[in-house]
Amino acid sequence: MSRRHSAEKREINPDPKFGDLIVTKFMNAVMYDGKKSVAETIVYGALDQVQSKTKQEPVTVFHQA
C-alpha cells in the first residue's frame, strides 16, 4: 500500500428531491449493504408522512429534529 498521498474526500451531492446535503447524509446513514434506493424510499416515505401529518415542509421539520 502506497503512503505517498492521503485519500481524497468525495463530494456529497444533494438529494434530487429536496436538494439538501443533510438529507443525503441521513440517507447514507440509513443505507444498509449499499442499497441506496431502499434507503431513499424509506427516508422519502417518512418525510411524506411528516408532511401529511404536520402540514409543514418536511425538510424544515427534519432540520428541527
Predicted TM-score (pTM) of this structure:
0.82
Is the residue at 56 inside a domain? yes
User: Domain count of the chain?
Assistant: 1
Per-residue model confidence as pLDDT tens digits over 21-60: 999 999 999 999 999 999 999 999 999 999 999 999 999 9
Burial letters 21-44, b for 16+ CB under 10 A, else e: eebbebbeeebeeeeeeebbeebb
Instruction: Using a pLDDT cut of 70, give the percent of the chain over it.
Output: 97
List the domain range (segments joined by +) for residue 31: 21-64
Report the alpha-carbon distance of residue 26 to residue 15 in Å, rounded: 10
Predicted pLDDT of residue 6: 87
Predicted pLDDT of residue 1: 63
Is the residue at 46 inside a domain? yes
